[in-house]
């Protein structure tokens, strides 16, 4: 990931001497450890409820955890990483998987919100509404910041997350911008919101 590459560049720790296989690049943190934790934790999170038998479910979870540990230990055994590299890689993986699971939970909860669905379907109209609300002095500062971010993001001449990237490429249109608008509108006094809403959705 970009974050991992940045950390490697900033720390610039050389790999241990006498590696059993040839590896290039800096040592800290271990990318293999990061990816192993993300992949196998996602497997556990995605399929644990589908395995009804308690024993099989326990074996599945234990095997996944064992695979994570084996990947980390193999990097140390091959002498391509220090132990602290692997621990840092696991920590970074835990950070990313936590963000991903939170994102999934927020997506599922918002999917059932009719207001959020309406914003997503009529995003262009809501962005025009957001522009009017942002200039209203009665709108709280937090709402203005969220609306300003949504407008700025929406009208960027390029995508921060390119559309050709599967799933992630659609996050800005399907979640980030609508979510910012949705949260901003929640903080605006109802009478102020209704006054502007009538102008655009009369």
Point out the residues that are catalytic. 32, 81
Quickly list DSSP for 28-82: SS-HHHHHHHHHHHHHHHHHGGG--SHHHHHHHHHHHHHHHHHHHHHHHHTTSS-
Round to whole Å and give the CA distance between 33 and 75.
Answer: 8
């Amino acid at each position: 990931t970009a974050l991992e590459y940045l950390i490697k560049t900033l720390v610039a720790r050389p790999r241990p001497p006498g590696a059993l296989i040839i590896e290039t690049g800096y040592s800290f943190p271990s990318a293999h450890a990061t990816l192993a934790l993300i992949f196998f934790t996602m497997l556990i999170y995605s399929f644990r409820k589908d395995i009804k038998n308690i024993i099989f479910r326990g074996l599945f979870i234990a095997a996944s955890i064992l695979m994570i540990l084996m990947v980390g230990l193999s990097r140390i055994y091959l002498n391509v990483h220090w132990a602290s590299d692997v621990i840092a890689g696991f920590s970074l993986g835990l950070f990313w998987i936590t963000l991903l699971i939170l994102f999934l939970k927020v997506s599922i909860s918002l999917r059932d919100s009719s207001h959020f669905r309406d914003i997503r379907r009529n995003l262009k109209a809501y962005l025009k509404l957001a522009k009017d609300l942002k200039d209203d002095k009665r709108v709280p500062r937090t709402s203005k910041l969220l609306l300003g971010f949504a407008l700025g993001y929406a009208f960027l001449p390029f995508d921060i997350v390119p559309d050709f990237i599967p799933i992630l490429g659609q996050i800005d249109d399907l979640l980030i911008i609508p979510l910012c608008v949705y949260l901003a509108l929640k903080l605006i006094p109802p009478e102020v919101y209704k006054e502007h809403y009538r102008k655009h959705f009369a």
